[in-house]
A = this chain, B = another copy of it.
Amino acid sequence: MSLRMALLGLLSASGPSSGYDLTKTFATTLNHVWHSTHSQIYPELGRMAEQQLVSVSEQGARGRKTYAITERGREELKRWIVEVEPDRRVRSVEALRAFLLTEVEPEQAVEITRKESEINQQLSAQLRDIRARYSDGDREPFGDFAMEFGIRRYDAVQQWADWARKRLESESAQRVTRSAKNKNRSSSG
């Protein structure tokens, strides 16, 4: 249902749009929220039209269909937001990698956390950028809460990665120190 609700939310907030328009929004803003692509979006819009959650409000050039949210669609959306218990089952590749981090050589683990920090910093910056552009009048009314959510999540992962790298490096340092001591002991014994 999430893809469906994301589509209804966009149609509600930004007004009537084509599948093509919606796909572009999914590729930019919504990419930080709920990823999807046209091969999922077009058939879903079709099913939603069948069920009268949206209507084809206009047919334009190049086969363009403009969809609008219906009253039924709006009701469904609101009902879902307040009534449906969110699915909290976690499936996070980042968390899994964290889980598996000690399976590889310490130097490789350090490199992974370094990269993870870098990428999450970039993603956070990307979102801050989108937010800055929105604030300049171009503002969609409902973006703020989601952007803040995304920024905080990316920042948290970045901070985790920095913490993990430091921990890995201090462990390596201890190992080096220990092996240096062993060397001294064996050469002096």
Contacts and interface: CB of A to CB of B under 8 A. Distances in A.
A93 to B, nearest CB: 5
B35 A146 contact: no
A104 B146 CA distance: 15
Contact of A101 (B34, B145, B157, B164): B145
A35 B101 contact: no
Nearest to A99: B146
Given A9-B99, A103-B78, A155 B156 contact: yes
A6 interface: yes
Main SS of the interface on chain A? helix
B104 A81 contact: yes
Contacts of A111: 82
The quantity of this chain's copies bound in the complex is: 2
Nearest to A12: B103
A61 interface: no
A150 interface: yes
24 contacts: A5-B100, A6-B99, A30-B99, A31-B90, A32-B90, A32-B95, A33-B92, A33-B98, A35-B89, A77-B100, A81-B97, A81-B101, A81-B112, A82-B104, A82-B108, A88-B93, A90-B150, A95-B150, A95-B153, A98-B148, A101-B145, A102-B141, A149-B157, A152-B160
Q: 3 closest pairs, A vs B, by CB? A: A156-B156, A99-B146, A35-B89
